[in-house]
């Protein structure tokens, strides 16, 4: 049976909405794509919902329409699209053509007229019609069979308001056609339709509810209330009639389009997927992959790798033919965090061993290994007593260096990015048997998956090698990221010992304090309520207690930290709530989280994310040990629970002001350079210069403010943020920043040059060549562009600091091993290294840390570290 449902989409309305709804997204070459992605997301979701048999997208053309001929100022006040959006409109049209979705546009008519005409024609021919638009003008064409869907965003989710004629009448109290007369009275600022002065939406609705149309209203003008509306309607009656003409959507536009020609076919056809690949629309490729589509003729149109499931005897034969200097791609099959099999490729030979008892010879062999996410493999192999040798390439790390702000870092994402489609799973018949009985389905599936994954690794490896060379990233990759992989794997395997009894005792103390604070807060409020409920807390503070609200959101009065801190200056209950929140966060996030992560040997093993952050910094997860509180004395106490193993002590080394030293090196500001060379207090020097006082007269408060400015400059801090940090007005904060740059002109010059360079290149980079793509710099939106400028300012500094600590880690790790010491590196937190030093080796460890960290790289200023020892992380810090 024919699917007689037509869906019409308002092209410019929806792409404009999508552009502002999504953050900047670009291709590798800097081509913006966020609006295209947003449009496709809306369209495909609605196609899934509606399942139309026919579809078309209507577009306005630049040429004037009949409305411009009637009224020169029609849409005269409408702003033109930003360049970043204009670029995407022709690309979207090309994509729609490739998807076999009809585009309808005609000179002299707007998209509204085209959709109105097609909708009425289709309805007359027995079709059900859905019109998707962000323009509420289309509501006037709603009928029993024409539905208007208006996308809206709430809490980050896109939904739609849906209207048939009856829905509109129920909501507005007038019919869709009467809506035209309402628009004629109230006008439309976006289209510059004049309407009648002083008649707004409420008055216009009331008039049309009573009189149905403007002609009847004009005939009864003396009875209209309020008097001012009556007077203006009488005076501007012709303007109201013109406004109605402008607001009326044409239902009989002269467009030569047959509904039969709008039939919806295979929108995920090969041409469409090729366009997805060209525009690097990975989410669309994933969607196509899920539907079983492939790109004919593209890089992704590749045969599934064919391999063999082999016996242990054949495995030995396979290993014996691998040349000592050969390169082999491999893929471990993991089930329940255990090795279920190993696939390996050498030349054209691709094999799968469905067990783990005989794989050590492969990993410990002299030949080179190529992998994806090898750190995970190293940790699993270690549990089986196997050591990885001669790992030469990891696609996860290479992909991260080549583009560290991409979405997705799985092997499937790599396949989408480089080969144009996701990993195609072969059918079970592609794995032939040799000297084996029929494999289980599980073994067959594991082999198929491993063969497909190795196919991606083998094909993408040379592509990434060439890109690393092209972008001058070889040194950073081979001298920093690859060696660091092994360091991190060892650190993850070692873990850090935790005193569970201390953590539990710490948690009990928190609970006692939380209970006390709860009672005190309830007494101050005069009632019991859920302190964790924003809604209940807002009611108590701003309604029951009558405290003046500082900030309102869409959902009501704000009770965030910023608000409570301001209220706490005058209201004790706000201080108590802040204290309550800090204690409950410590208990839930840290105490409960840490206790749950302690393993049977009493240690916690975190996972270091080496391929995650945009600046190159390492992060930590499951649990996050880099986020253990340090700013409050109560939070710092938690570090007492981290202790060395028996026979060891802690040695902690922390870079002193590494980011400011990098800034001094980059800017070559003489004051900065001299201060660090002479080991002077840079914050006190800054205070003296900014506040215009002698060095000896700088107060602690002046130094505190200057410290905030010094570090804030590194992060591209705004005057507003600085004012919040140092508790001054925005104008005073602006003055601090202006004075700072006046006193440090070379820093200002460097920052301006860094932003200009990033705008020209599309990326910022460190002195070691690490890059961060910043598409936000090319955006029209002020806030988005400002974020890009801040990223361009701070990435070269933060990224270089991240590179320095990585280089130091590698050097310290190597020295500890080369000198045969029992001490080991177990934790890294930003600019800090924690060593579990064997008793008796403490002084040697200190010397190694000082030597390797302070000489990790050559800057124009000396690098300095603070070293401490102790029987807990707290004591050593």
For the stretch 348-371, pLDDT in tens is: 899 999 976 789 999 999 999 999
pLDDT band, residue 580 (cuts 50/70/90): very high
Tokens of 610: 């080496």
What stretch of H or E contains 146?
A: strand 146-154
What stretch of H or E contains 276?
A: helix 270-278
Query: Residue 143: is its pLDDT beyond 50?
Result: yes
Query: Residue 707: is its pLDDT beyond 50?
Result: yes
Rounded Cα gap, residues 492 and 490, in angstroms: 5
Q: Where are the domains of the chain?
A: 5-262, 302-471, 497-604
- 8 Å CB contact between 796 and 754: yes
Residue 116 Cα to chain centre, angstroms: 39
- Calculate mean pLDDT across residues 512-516: 96
**What share of the chain has pLDDT > 90, as a percent?**
61
The residue with greater pLDDT, 194 or 834, is 834
Query: Residue 521: is its pLDDT beyond 50?
Result: yes
pLDDT band, residue 294 (cuts 50/70/90): low
Tokens of 846: 């200190």
pLDDT in tens, 58-82: 998 877 877 877 877 777 777 778 8
Residue 334: strand pairing partners: 339
pLDDT band, residue 304 (cuts 50/70/90): low
pLDDT band, residue 302 (cuts 50/70/90): very low
| Four-residue CA torsion sign, 738, 742, 745, 749 | positive
Pairing of strands 648-655, 865-870: antiparallel
Name, in order, each residue with C-beta under 8 angstroms of 36's C-beta and a sequence gap of 6 or more. Answer: 15, 18, 88, 91, 92, 95, 279, 281
Class (C level, CATH) for 5-262 = alpha beta
Tokens of 648: 């060891």
What is residue 1's predicted lDDT score, i.e. its pLDDT? 59
Residue 724 Cα to chain centre, angstroms: 26
What is residue 154's predicted lDDT score, i.e. its pLDDT? 62
What is residue 441's predicted lDDT score, i.e. its pLDDT? 60
Query: Residue 434: is its pLDDT beyond 50?
Result: no
- Calculate mean pLDDT across residues 186-196: 85
What is residue 382's predicted lDDT score, i.e. its pLDDT? 92
CATH topology for 497-604? Taq DNA Polymerase; Chain T, domain 4 (1.20.1060)
Query: Residue 668: is its pLDDT beyond 90?
Result: yes
pLDDT band, residue 523 (cuts 50/70/90): very high
pLDDT band, residue 328 (cuts 50/70/90): very high
Of 531, 530, 534, 533, the C-alpha closest to 554 is 534
What is residue 81's predicted lDDT score, i.e. its pLDDT? 83
Q: Among the listed ranges 415-429, 581-595, 605-619, which one has the minimum average pLDDT value? A: 415-429
pLDDT band, residue 156 (cuts 50/70/90): low
Q: Which residues of 262-293 are buried (b: 16+ CB within 10 A; e: fewer)?
A: bebeebbbbbbbbbbbbbbbbbbbbbbbeeeb
- State phi, psi for 420 to the nearest 5 degrees: 90, -5
What stretch of H or E contains 67?
A: helix 66-70
Task: Count the neighbouring beta carbons within 10 Å of the beta carbon of residue 154.
Answer: 8
**What share of the chain has pLDDT > 70, as a percent?**
95
pLDDT in tens, 620-629: 998 999 988 8
Rounded Cα gap, residues 864 and 657, in angstroms: 8
Query: Residue 721: is its pLDDT beyond 70?
Result: yes
Rounded Cα gap, residues 349 and 802, in angstroms: 41
Query: Residue 563: is its pLDDT beyond 80?
Result: yes
Mean pLDDT of the chain: 89
pLDDT band, residue 96 (cuts 50/70/90): very high
Pairing of strands 763-765, 146-154: unpaired
Name, in order, each residue with C-beta under 8 angstroms of 334's C-beta and a sequence gap of 6 or more. Answer: 340, 380
What is residue 424's predicted lDDT score, i.e. its pLDDT? 58
Task: Count the neighbouring beta carbons within 10 Å of the beta carbon of residue 434.
Answer: 11
Of 225, 235, 176, the C-alpha closest to 202 is 225
pLDDT band, residue 430 (cuts 50/70/90): very low
What is residue 301's predicted lDDT score, i.e. its pLDDT? 44
What is residue 295's predicted lDDT score, i.e. its pLDDT? 40
- At residue 219, the 3 state secondary structure works out as helix
CATH topology for 302-471? Nucleotidyltransferase; domain 5 (3.30.420)
pLDDT in tens, 806-828: 999 999 999 999 999 999 999 99
Rounded Cα gap, residues 466 and 472, in angstroms: 10
Rounded Cα gap, residues 768 and 764, in angstroms: 12
Rounded Cα gap, residues 838 and 72, in angstroms: 85
pLDDT band, residue 116 (cuts 50/70/90): very high
Query: Residue 433: is its pLDDT beyond 90?
Result: no
What is residue 460's predicted lDDT score, i.e. its pLDDT? 95
- 8 Å CB contact between 108 and 67: no
213: burial class by Cβ within 10 Å (0-12, 13-18, 19+)? Answer: middle
- 8 Å CB contact between 70 and 189: no
Q: Which of 190-199, 249-258, 861-870 has the highest mean pLDDT?
A: 861-870
What is residue 293's predicted lDDT score, i.e. its pLDDT? 60
The residue with greater pLDDT, 497 or 189, is 497
């Amino acid at each position: 049976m024919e699917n007689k449902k037509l869906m019409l989409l308002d092209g410019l309305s929806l792409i404009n909405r999508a552009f502002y709804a999504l953050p900047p997204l670009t291709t590798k070459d800097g081509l913006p794509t966020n609006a295209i992605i947003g449009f496709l997301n809306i369209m495909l979701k609605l196609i899934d919902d509606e399942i139309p048999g026919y579809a078309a997208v209507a577009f306005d053309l630049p040429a004037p329409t009949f409305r411009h001929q009637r009224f020169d100022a029609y849409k005269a006040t409408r702003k033109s699209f930003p360049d970043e959006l204009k670029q995407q409109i022709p690309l979207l049209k090309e994509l729609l053509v490739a998807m076999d979705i009809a585009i309808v546009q005609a000179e002299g008519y707007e998209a509204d007229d085209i959709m109105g005409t097609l909708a009425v024609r289709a309805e007359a021919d027995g079709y059900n019609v859905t019109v998707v638009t962000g323009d509420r003008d289309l509501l006037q064409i709603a009928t029993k069979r024409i539905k208007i869907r208006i996308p809206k965003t709430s809490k980050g989710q896109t939904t739609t308001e849906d209207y048939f004629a009856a829905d509109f009448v129920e909501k507005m109290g007038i019919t869709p056609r009467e809506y035209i007369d309402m628009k004629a009275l109230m006008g439309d600022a976006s289209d510059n339709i004049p309407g009648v002065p002083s008649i707004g939406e409420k008055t216009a609705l009331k008039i049309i509810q009573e009189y149905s149309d403007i002609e009847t209203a004009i005939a009864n003008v003396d009875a209209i209330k309020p008097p001012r509306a009556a007077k203006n309607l009488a005076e501007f009656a012709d303007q109201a009639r013109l406004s109605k003409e402008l607001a009326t959507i044409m239902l009989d536009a002269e467009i030569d389009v047959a509904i039969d020609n709008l039939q919806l076919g295979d929108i995920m056809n090969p041409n469409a997927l090729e366009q997805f690949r060209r525009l690097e629309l990975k989410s669309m490729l994933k969607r196509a992959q899920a539907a079983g589509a492939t790109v004919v003729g593209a890089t992704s149109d590749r045969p599934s790798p064919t391999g063999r499931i082999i016996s242990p005897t054949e495995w030995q034969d396979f290993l014996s033919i691998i040349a000592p200097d050969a390169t082999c791609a491999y893929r471990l099959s993991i089930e329940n965090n255990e090795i279920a099999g190993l696939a390996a490729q050498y030349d054209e030979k691709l094999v799968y061993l469905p067990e783990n008892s005989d794989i050590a010879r492969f990993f410990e062999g002299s030949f080179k290994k190529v992998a994806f996410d090898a750190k995970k493999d190293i940790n699993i192999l270690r549990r089986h007593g196997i050591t990885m040798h001669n790992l030469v390439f990891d696609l996860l790390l290479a992909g991260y260096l080549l583009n560290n702000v991409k979405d997705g870092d799985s092997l499937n994402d790599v396949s989408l990015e480089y080969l144009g489609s996701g990993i195609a799973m072969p059918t079970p018949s592609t794995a032939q048997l040799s000297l084996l009985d029929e494999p289980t389905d599980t073994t067959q599936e594991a082999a198929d998956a491993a063969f497909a994954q190795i196919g991606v690794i083998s094909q993408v490896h040379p592509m990434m090698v060439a890109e690393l060379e092209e972008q001058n990233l070889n040194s950073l990759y081979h001298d920093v990221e690859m060696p660091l992989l092994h360091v991190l794997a060892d650190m993850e395997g070692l873990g850090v010992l935790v005193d569970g009894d201390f953590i539990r005792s710490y948690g009990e103390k928190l609970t006692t304090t939380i209970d006390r604070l709860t009672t005190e807060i309830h007494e101050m409020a005069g009632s019991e309520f859920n302190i964790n409920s924003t809604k209940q807390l807002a009611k108590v503070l701003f309604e029951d207690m009558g405290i003046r609200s500082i900030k309102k959101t869409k959902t009501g009065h704000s009770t965030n930290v910023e608000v409570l801190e301001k209220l706490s200056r005058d209201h004790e209950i706000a201080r108590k709530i802040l204290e309550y929140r800090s204690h409950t966060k410590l208990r839930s996030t840290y105490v409960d989280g840490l206790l749950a992560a302690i393993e049977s040997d009493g240690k916690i093993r975190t996972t270091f994310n080496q391929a995650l952050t945009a600046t190159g910094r390492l992060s930590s997860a499951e649990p996050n040990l880099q986020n253990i509180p340090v700013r409050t004395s109560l939070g710092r106490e938690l570090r007492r629970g981290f202790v060395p193993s028996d026979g060891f002590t802690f040695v902690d080394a922390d870079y002193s002001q590494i980011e400011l030293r990098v800034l001094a090196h980059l800017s070559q500001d003489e004051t900065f350079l001299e201060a660090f060379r002479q080991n002077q207090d840079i914050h006190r020097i800054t205070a003296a210069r900014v506040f215009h006082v002698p060095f000896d007269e700088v107060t602690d408060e002046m130094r505190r403010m200057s410290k905030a400015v010094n570090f804030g400059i590194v992060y591209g801090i705004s005057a507003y943020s600085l004012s919040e940090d140092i508790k001054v007005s925005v104008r005073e904060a602006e003055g601090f920043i202006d004075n700072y740059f006046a006193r440090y002109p070379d820093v200002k010059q460097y920052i301006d040059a860094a932003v200009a360079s990033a705008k020209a290149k599309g990326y910022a980079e460190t002195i070691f060549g690490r890059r961060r793509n910043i598409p936000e710099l090319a955006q029209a939106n002020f806030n988005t562009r400002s974020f890009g400028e801040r990223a361009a300012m701070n990435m070269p500094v933060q990224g270089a600091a991240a590179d320095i600590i990585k280089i130091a880690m590698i050097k310290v790790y190597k020295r500890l091993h080369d000198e045969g010491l029992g001490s080991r590196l177990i934790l890294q937190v930003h600019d800090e290294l924690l060593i579990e030093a064997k008793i008796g080796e403490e002084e040697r460890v200190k010397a190694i840390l000082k030597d390797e960290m302070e000489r990790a790289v050559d800057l124009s200023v000396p690098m300095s570290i603070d070293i401490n020892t102790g029987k807990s992380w707290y004591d050593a810090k």
